[in-house]
Amino acid sequence: MLPSSRIASILTVCAGAAMAVWGGLAPQIIDYDARMPVDLENTTLTISDSSATTRLINDGRQLTVGVNRQFHAELLPPVDDDTVTARVGLTDSRVSNQDDLNRLISASVWSYSFDRTTGEATSQATVNNQLASEDETVDVNGLWVKFPSDAEQTTYQVFDPVLRDSAPAVFQDSSEQDGRTIYRYHQEISPTNVAERYSSVFNTIDVTSSSDGSSDSAESDADTSTQAYLYHSGTRDYYVDQVTGLIVNVEENIDDYYGDKDGNKLEQALLFDGQGSQEQTDALIAQAATVHDGHVARIVNYVVLAVGILLAILGLAGTFGIFKRKRTS
């Protein structure tokens, strides 16, 4: 029968080996990154400008009024460890005492799937416009709902729904807010004729030229009518929680206008310079802080691996009587 010391050593080897194996395999089967949770409560981002310029689609009048731009993402099945489906609602609305329908400037609903860690799209998007008769399919060739977890100080391609394409968002600087590291990425979009990219009731209008050379979208006698095209341009600053890649604020300066084929401005469509409120930003940062990023689990795993290797070595030494031979010598 084996002596009790030898049995204890063998058990120590087994325990150490089991711990070492777990420490080695755990990173392969457990998520250690701050991937997008599917149960986030706050998934709405509202950007406001108290004196934006908008154009009424029915009669072409220009209004200077407060405008809210809202981005709302609802996470839906199918979902797995790596991907999730998002239904994204986009609305532009005027701040007034009118009912919701009359305050609405534009609205659309997008549905697509993306990688919960990288933020990259894993499917095309299905788009439903408020005035469209049927859904459209669009390639989402960049980030949109989120940036990559463990975001880097680099340039990312970020999707623009009006452009229906991506544009580079370049890292600018880093700051600390409420104990979180926030990265700022700056995106610039040069004037682009979106009417050449896709069809929409918003993308073209008829502009009349009077005898005095002025332009107007209301036609009168002896006026000549010219088709004008929607040009989209502007800048954005994305404020991103570095660990999770969640967007906590956006500053937008948008200049959308109707112009001729050469890009000369004829009428303003939307002039907007806004950002999210500080209260909203604080809430989104606080929510990002609750997302599990795996750093505690990684530390525990490293400890288990190290202890397992140490126990295995000690157990092997005891099994072969190394300590006993040293004492007898």
Tell me the per-residue pLDDT of 273-311, one tens digit each, with 9 for 90 and over.
999 999 999 999 999 999 987 544 444 444 545 555 655
Bridge partners for 186 per DSSP = 170, 237
Instruction: For residues 117-142, give the mean pLDDT.
Output: 90
pLDDT at residue 21 greater than cutoff 80: no
d(CA 242, CA 51): 32
Which two structure tokens, joined as six digits, stand for 310? 């140490």
d(CA 56, CA 64): 11
What pLDDT shows up at residue 129? 84
d(CA 118, CA 140): 14
Q: Do the beta carbons of residue 225 and residue 163 sit within 8 Å?
A: no
Mean of pLDDT over the chain: 84
Which two structure tokens, joined as six digits, stand for 28? 């392969």
Question: Roughly how many angstroms between the first and final C-alpha of the chain, as a whole number?
Answer: 25
Domain boundaries, given as residue ranges, for the chain = 4-29+296-328, 44-293
Higher-confidence position of 213 and 129? 129
d(CA 59, CA 259): 18
Lowest pLDDT segment from 114-123, 131-140, 160-169, 227-236: 131-140
**Helix, strand, or coil (residue 327):** helix
Higher-confidence position of 20 and 155? 155
Top mean pLDDT of 5-14, 174-183, 207-216 is at: 174-183
Higher-confidence position of 268 and 81? 268
pLDDT at residue 259 greater than cutoff 60: yes
Which runs of E-coded beta strand occur in the chain?
44-55, 62-79, 83-94, 104-115, 125-129, 136-138, 155-160, 165-177, 180-193, 204-209, 215-216, 224-241, 247-259, 265-275
Running DSSP on this structure, what letter comes out for residue 195?
G
DSSP per-residue letters across 11-65: HHHHHHHHHHHHHHHHHHHS--S-PPPS--S--EEEEEEEEEEEE-TTT--EEEE
Q: Work out the pLDDT band at 41, boundaries 50, 70, 90.
A: very high
Running DSSP on this structure, what letter comes out for residue 150?
S
What pLDDT shows up at residue 9? 57
What pLDDT shows up at residue 301? 45
pLDDT at residue 216 greater than cutoff 80: no
Say what the pTM is: 0.79
Percentage of the chain beyond pLDDT 70 is 71
Residue found by looking up tokens 């534009």 in the block? 106
